[in-house]
Structure 1
C-alpha cells in the first residue's frame, strides 16, 4: 500500500482512515443487532435469515478466499528467497512451509507471538532506517 500510494495518490490511505470513522457505526448499530438475535457469527445470521445452504456458501467462499490468500502469502516470500539463494521456488515454498509448521508445533502459540514481535521489530526498524535515509 505505501508504494502504491506514493506512485499514484493517497486514496488508499484515506480508505484505511475511514475504518476509524466506521467504528462507532459498527459498535452502536451492528453489534447490538447481532446481540439481539443471539448469534455470534455472520454465518449464523445467514442461516437464520436465508437458509443453511447460504451459510455453507458463505463459509466455502471464505475458505476459498483464505486458501488463495495463503498461497500468495507463501509464494511471494518464496520468490524473494529463490532470487537471493538461487534455490528452486518450489523448494523454497516447501522449506518455508516445513519451517513454519515445525516452529509452530514445537513452540506453540508463544513461538507464533515471538515471530510476530520479531516481524514488528524488523518492520519498524526498516521504516525508521528509511526515514533516516530520506531525512538525512
Structure 2
C-alpha cells in the first residue's frame, strides 16, 4: 500500500496486476471481514443471557436494533457490518473534510491533557476546536 500502481498509468496492462495490488487488497478485505465478524460475535455473546442489557457503543446499538423482531426490514449481521463501515467512512470524511484549529491564540503547548477520575475518565478541561472548511464555501452550497 502507498506505492504507485503501474496499471493506473498503463490501463491496458491493469488486468495483469503486475504488482499484486488487487491480490493484496482482496487478502486485506478478507482479514478485515474476519475481524469484523469476530467483533460482532463478541457483542452478540455479551448480550446473550442478559435481559436488561444497556448498549454502550454504536455496535451494541446496531446489534440491539438487529435483534428487534418488530422491524419492517430485518437487519442481519452483514447489514450491521455494512452500517458500521458506512458510519466509519462518514466520520473519516468529516474529520478529513475540514481544517481543525485551536481557538484564538491557543497553541498545542497550552492544551491540558489531564484527566479526572470517573466512569469514562473524562478530560479535566474540555477540548475546544474550531472547524474551518478546506474548500471554498461556494462548493458546499447547492
Please state which band the TM-score falls in when normalised by the shorter chain.
0.3 to 0.5
- TM-score, normalised on structure 2? 0.33
Structure 1 or 2, whichever has the larger Rg, is: 2
Higher relative contact order (CA 8 A, sep 6+): 2
- TM-score, normalised on structure 1? 0.34
Larger helix share, 1 or 2: 1
Larger strand share, 1 or 2: 2
